[in-house]
Amino acid sequence: MLPQKFLSDLEVAIGVKAMITNQDDIAPYMIEQRGRFIGQTSLVVTPATTQEVSDIVKLCAEHSIGIVPQGGHTGLVSGGIPFAGDNAIVLSTSRLNKIRTIDPTNNTMVVESGCILQTIQEHAAQHDRLFPLSLGAEGSCQIGGNIATNAGGINVIRYGNTRQLVLGLEVVTPTGEIWNGLRALQKDNTGYDLKQLYIGSEGTLGIITAAVLQLFPKPKEQQTAVLAIKELEDALPLLNLAQSMLGDALTSFELLPRIGIDFSLKHGQGVVDPIEGQYDWYILMEASVAITHSNLKDLFQNYLETAFEKNWVQDGVLAQNKSQSDSFWLLRENITLCQKPEGGSIKHDISVPVSSVPAFIKTANEAVRKMIPGIRPHPFGHLGDGNIHYNLSQPIDMNKEDYLNHWEEVNRIVHDIVHSFNGSISAEHGIGRVKRDENQYYKSAVEMQLMQNIKTALDPKGIMNPGKLIPVS
Amino acid sequence: MLPQKFLSDLEVAIGVKAMITNQDDIAPYMIEQRGRFIGQTSLVVTPATTQEVSDIVKLCAEHSIGIVPQGGHTGLVSGGIPFAGDNAIVLSTSRLNKIRTIDPTNNTMVVESGCILQTIQEHAAQHDRLFPLSLGAEGSCQIGGNIATNAGGINVIRYGNTRQLVLGLEVVTPTGEIWNGLRALQKDNTGYDLKQLYIGSEGTLGIITAAVLQLFPKPKEQQTAVLAIKELEDALPLLNLAQSMLGDALTSFELLPRIGIDFSLKHGQGVVDPIEGQYDWYILMEASVAITHSNLKDLFQNYLETAFEKNWVQDGVLAQNKSQSDSFWLLRENITLCQKPEGGSIKHDISVPVSSVPAFIKTANEAVRKMIPGIRPHPFGHLGDGNIHYNLSQPIDMNKEDYLNHWEEVNRIVHDIVHSFNGSISAEHGIGRVKRDENQYYKSAVEMQLMQNIKTALDPKGIMNPGKLIPVS
């Protein structure tokens, strides 16, 4: 129950239209994509300006009411919903959706946090620029959420994570002050780089209201290929060869297992097998350049020839046109969807050094097979970044619920192996509520304490996204 | 005067050989390159292991003694020396100089903070990799100092600042604990990105003892050119054209004024004028690719042809061989040195959005000429990053000391203009002691408070590099 004084002051500050109190209207903000938890709150606010965000936060601070910032609501770790007992409201950034400015000469644009990622991509393209962040949810996720979770996606190998694409931020702090850090500078060594602290902090240190984004020249030519490999180990020299023969043109280097292709062929719409015959592993790779009249196709063909000569590739196909390259990507995009009809899937979003990916997959496969005979490992994803979505489909003849009951046990085995490779148990999805305790189990006490000290210093009342990422002390 | 108990405990921990107490031996650690200040201390310690650093910090914390970390001692803002009254010792990282490991497949290496930058570059090259950080002091600066100051240099336009080249850190915190954040991962979203806080914090939050560095494929082909332009404004479309016609191959885009070339020809050793005739402004640009058999030369020539057609370039020369490209770079490297014989120089290290560089230079030139008639503006540097070393040589007939007495007054005028362009008063050199108060003048109260809160949270006793970057409260 929120205090009446709080509600009436809020109404004065932002107006009743920006306050959702009816549970039917609140429901969509509470139900997540993966549906593991359902949020609970009595108020969702939808401010339209940074000043309104500031007003809301000041009132919440005064009344010690928690605030859960929510963007496009596409997160996978329950970071964007309040849990029962949190005494928290939801602040939706959906109406903070203006593209403020674009400066193509400086390769920057200033956007509010509620802008949809795809809208930003399109706006940049209209000015012959690329905003390279690209991921499955781009049609509905918001840039504020991308920044708060340091989203990854399919172009990281070339352009980096969201962190590398943000030059400046505007943030409302947990005391309701507005920090204007909207600098459009490539270089600025005038103190602690505060924006870095907010990027990836999952709403626990403040609310991102706007950002300066880094743009790039728009790619003019690209090449896409699917390669079949026999041994997973061969993917490493193949990647290094691509890095030296294609240089910065390499933008994607994705791993697909045969089982993923089988699932996609069986359950996907319009999916075709790109290569005749069956191989254990496939690489989907793409290279692109911002220049016209490049020799990218020749370079790519030389690369493939060298890879064949070295015997690192068994078979391969270079897309001859846009529709063929689209069909390769369709295969990749169907990978997650097409696991669903195969029953329960225990998921991991891990990273290890790129050089350790094959060893990690082998060790983990062996361990989980030993634990649950018949389990079907389905590792796929961003091999070029060392980031594998290590998903495990249930044995064919097992009851789904029985299988999913092993979730935490399996997590522990897989994460122990990740830890032994000095890896990360959350490469791109973040921690939220789902992985909070698991994260604490693996982080050193020194690191947890440093994080806690920062949290306490910046959010002394603990009102920002309570219970997420940082354990409640 | 340091307490006897502190000194005897320290001797037990690190041995007398790692303690320099003789003022003659201490002197080199106190005298800086630019010589604006001379440091003062009674003890320099030279630990050889992270554990020794930890032991030292614990003893300093116990006795509330300040610690000034010092690397290669090449900084320009007096960030690496203790001032009289600081009650601080110097911790030199020179003996923490091991390259721990290199993993060419993962494109990473792990180095201790006292490693010389050039040693790191050479070690990477031996493994057919590039560590792209490159700057004037590379023969003596240490990577720990580069990281603590987020050094820039000549390849930022392509590879980013030091921040973008660091994947993980090992840090001794102000309480003497060792934080092992030596992760060699491209993606890791498991909490606040603590390393970002230490990068660029100038030793005020802890002591960096080791780092995981990002390597790149070694460039195999490169092209270097000097172009003469008539109007400074033409540099902007010229840069954008390079970005779209050369793409990621563009690695340097440096601005040189005619006065700089004149100074270099007059005072430099072996400097030649690259282009017949005299023009107001010159661009030194370089492009490189990691691949062999590229068509970089054709691309570069197409680029130059287009630039001529557009009338953005008056004249230009593409280096025909290594020795010609070296001579172009010699011109650039002589720029700072050859200002010295021309008398006093009031210096600024500023950045603005790239699109504002011409307007900034025009506005600033006008303002300083109005203030000191005959003053000789000499703006040069990393135009591609919006980072201009806005140096001002004295009027020919003025007394040097009289001129330099205007330093702060001129700073204020120039920095006010920088501020009006939403720029930075320290693009790559940092704040240290020299710019501390000036920085505080321009930063918002909100930002200063956030920085202060973080400093207090992580260094409650205020022993880490006291008085630098953050005002002593």
Whether B26 maps to a domain, the answer reads yes
Residues B313 and B417 in one domain: no
Nearest to B446 among A179, A183, A186 (CB): A179
**CB–CB of A191/B439 below 8 Å?**
yes
How far apart CA A296 and CA A291 sit, in angstroms, is: 10
Domain boundary among B337, B367, B401: B337
Specify whether A114 is located in the same domain as A166.
yes
Of A240-249, A291-300, B129-138, where does the model show the most confidence? B129-138
Rounded CA separation B254/B259 (Å): 15
How many angstroms separate the CA of residue A97 from the nearest CA in chain B? 23
Are the Cβ atoms of B106 and A355 closer than 8 angstroms?
A: yes
d(CA A239, CA B137): 34
The reply to whether residue B194 touches residue A423, judged by beta carbons under 8 angstroms, is: no
Domain membership flag for residue B467? no
**Is A378 in the same domain as A312?**
no
Co-location of B117 and B165 in the same domain: yes
| Rounded (5°) CA angle A33-A35-A38 | 110
DSSP string, A384-435: GGTEEEEEEEPPTTS-HHHHHTTHHHHHHHHHHHHHHTT-BSBSSS--TTTT
Q: A283 with A367, same domain?
A: no
Do residues A354 and A289 share a domain?
no
Domain of B47, CATH number, reads 3.30.43.10
Residue where the block lists tokens 């991509």: A121
Beta strand A207-214 with A166-172: parallel, antiparallel or unpaired?
antiparallel
Cβ-based contacts of B302 with chain A (< 8 Å)? 293
- A114 plus A190 within the same structural domain: yes
Tens-digit pLDDT profile for residues A324-354 = 999 999 999 898 889 999 999 999 999 999 9
Tell me which chain B residues have a C-beta less than 8 angstroms from the C-beta of A184.
Answer: 353, 422
Residue A294: pLDDT over 90: no
From chain B, the residues in CB contact with A430 under 8 A are 189
Q: Judge residue B145's burial from the number of C-beta atoms within 10 Å of its C-beta, 0-12 exposed, 13-18 middle, 19 or more buried.
A: buried
CA distance, residue A400 to nearest chain B CA (Å): 29
Contacts of A447 in chain B (CB under 8 A): 179, 181, 191, 194
Which residue range(s) make up the domain with B58? 4-92
Contact B427 A194 (CB under 8 A): no
Are residues A225 and A309 both part of a single domain? yes
Q: Which residue bears the tokens 């000041």?
A: A58
Q: Indicate whether B435 belongs to any domain.
A: no
Please report the pLDDT score of residue A320 as a whole number: 95
Q: What is the mean pLDDT of residues A125-146?
A: 96
How far apart, in whole angstroms, are the C-alpha atoms of residue A212 and residue A150?
15
Contacts of A313 (CB under 8 A, 6+ apart): A227, A228, A229, A234, A238, A304, A307
Q: Is residue A451 a part of any domain in this protein?
A: no
Q: Which residues of A touch B201 (CB under 8 A)?
A: 192
The reply to whether residue A291 touches residue B246, judged by beta carbons under 8 angstroms, is: yes
Most distant CA pair in chain A, distance? 75
CA distance A122 to A131: 9
Q: Would you say residue A34 has pLDDT above 80?
A: no
What is the reported pLDDT for A36? Answer: 78
Q: What is the mean pLDDT of chain A?
A: 96
In this model, does residue A53 exceed pLDDT 80?
yes
Tokens encoding B37: 């200040």
Which residue of chain A comes nearest to B176, CA vs CA? A446
DSSP code per residue over B68-129: EEESSS--SSS-SSPPTTS-EEEEE-TT---EEEEETTTTEEEEETTSBHHHHHHHHHHTTE
Say if the Cβ atoms of A179 and B293 lie within 8 Å: no
Q: Which of these three, B306, B337, B368, is where a domain ends?
A: B337
Residue B457 falls inside a structural domain:
no
Q: Which of A105, A453, A469 lies closest to B458 in CB terms?
A: A453
Q: Please state, in angstroms and as integers, the Cα–Cα distance from residue B190 to each residue in A360, B129, B462, following that order.
A: 19, 29, 28
Q: Does A55 lie in the same domain as A30?
A: yes
Q: What is the pLDDT of residue A11?
A: 98
Residues of A in contact with B422 (CB under 8 A): 182-184
pLDDT of residue A1: 83
Bridge partners, residue B255, by sequence: B283, B381
Tell me which residue in A103, A217, A302 faces B243 most closely, judged by beta carbons. A217
Res B450: pLDDT: 98
B274 vs A37, B154, B262, CA distance in Å?
68, 20, 12
Tokens encoding B270:
């072996």
Nearest beta carbon to residue B454 from set A181, A289, A457: A457
The answer to whether residue A427 scores a pLDDT higher than 90 is: yes
Q: Walk across the sheet containing B44-45 and list its strands.
A: B19-20, B44-45, B88-92, B66-70
User: What is the phi/psi pair of residue A390, to 5°?
Assistant: -90, 85
CB-CB: which of B186, B196, B294 is closest to A385?
B186
CATH number at residue B412: 3.30.70.2740
Residues of A in contact with B469 (CB under 8 A): 191
Burial label for A140, CB within 10 Å (0-12, 13-18, 19+), is: middle
Q: What percent of chain A has pLDDT over 70?
A: 100
In the block, residue with structure tokens 């003694």: B65
| Nearest residue of A to residue B212, measured between CA atoms | A353
Q: Which of A152-156, A419-423, B74-78 has the highest mean pLDDT?
A: A419-423
The answer on pLDDT for A286 being more than 90 is yes
Interface contact flag, B186 A454, Cβ < 8 Å: no
Spatial distance between the Cα atoms of B192 and A200, rounded to a whole number of angstroms:
6
Residues of A in contact with B194 (CB under 8 A): 447, 450-451
How many CB atoms neighbour CB A401 within 10 A?
9
B178 token code pair: 């060792």
Q: DSSP for A280-334?
A: SEEEEEEEEESSSS--HHHHHHHHHHHHHHTT--SEEEE--SHHHHHHHHHHHHH
- In this complex, do A217 and B353 lie within 8 Å of one another by their Cβ atoms? no
The interaxial angle of helices B357-371 and B407-420, nearest 10 deg, is 150
A59 and A103, same domain (yes or no) = no
Chain A closest-CA separation from residue B16 CA (Å): 30
Chain A residues touching residue B193 (CB < 8 angstroms): 150, 163, 196-197, 199-200
Which of A103, A165, A187, A243 to mutate: most B Cβ within 10 Å? Answer: A187
Chain B's closest residue to A164, CA to CA, is B164
Query: Are A228 and A332 part of one and the same domain?
Result: yes
R_g of chain A, CA atoms, integer Å: 23
Residues A394 and A320 in one domain: no
User: What CA–CA distance (Å, rounded) separates A168 from B121?
Assistant: 30
Checking if the pLDDT of A239 tops 80, the result is: yes
Are the CB atoms for B125 and B134 separated by under 8 Å?
no
Chains A–B, number of C-beta pairs less than 8 Å apart: 277
Q: Identify whether the C-beta of residue A370 lies closer than 8 Å to the C-beta of residue A322.
A: no
Least Cα separation, residue A208 to chain B (angstroms): 15
CA distance A253 to chain B (A): 13
Inter-chain residue contact A291 with B244, CB threshold 8 Å: yes
User: Which residues of chain A lie closer than 8 angstroms to B196, CB-CB?
Assistant: 193, 196-197
Residue of A nearest to B167 (CA): A353
Cα–Cα nearest to B424, from B409, B410, B435, B408: B435
Chain A interface mutation, best of B146, B192, B297, highest count of A Cβ atoms under 10 Å: B192
CB-CB neighbors (< 8 A) of B426 in chain A: 188-190
Q: How far is A109 from chain B, CA to nearest CA, in Å?
A: 12
pLDDT of A33 over the 90 cut: no
Q: Domain count of chain A?
A: 4
Contact B187 A469 (CB under 8 A): no
Name the domain boundary from B172, B191, B217: B217
Using a CB-CB cut-off of 8 Å, the residues of chain B touching A451 are 191-192, 194
Q: Which residues of B touch A244 (CB under 8 A)?
A: 128, 217, 290-291
Q: Is A462 inside a domain boundary?
A: no
Phi, psi at residue B234, to the nearest 5°?
A: -65, -20
d(CA B302, CA A341): 54
pLDDT by residue (tens digit) across A181-201?
999 999 999 999 999 999 999
Answer yes or no: is A169 within a domain: yes
| Cα distances (angstroms) measured from residue B128 to each of A63, A239, A243, A383 | 60, 15, 12, 22
For Cα atoms B185, B135, B252, give the angle at the middle one, nearest 5 degrees.
85
Is residue A172, in this structure, part of any structural domain at all?
yes
Q: What is the pLDDT along chain B (473 residues), one digit of tens a residue?
A: 899 999 999 999 999 999 999 999 999 999 998 777 899 999 999 999 999 999 999 999 999 999 999 999 999 999 999 999 999 999 999 999 999 999 999 999 999 999 999 999 999 999 999 999 999 999 999 999 999 999 998 899 999 999 999 999 999 999 999 999 999 999 999 999 999 999 999 999 999 999 999 999 999 899 999 999 989 999 999 999 999 888 888 999 999 999 999 999 999 999 999 999 999 999 999 999 887 777 889 999 999 999 999 999 999 999 999 999 999 999 998 888 899 999 999 999 999 999 999 999 999 999 999 999 999 999 999 999 999 999 999 999 999 999 999 999 999 999 999 999 999 999 999 999 999 999 999 999 999 999 999 999 999 999 999 999 999 86
The reported pLDDT for the residue numbered A333 is 87
Residue type for A113, please?
S
CATH of the domain at A266: 3.30.70.2190
Q: What average pLDDT does range A149-178 have in this prediction? A: 96
Residue A473, pLDDT > 80, answer no
What is the domain-level CATH number for residue B203?
Answer: 3.30.465.10
Quote the tokens at residue B325.
């490209």
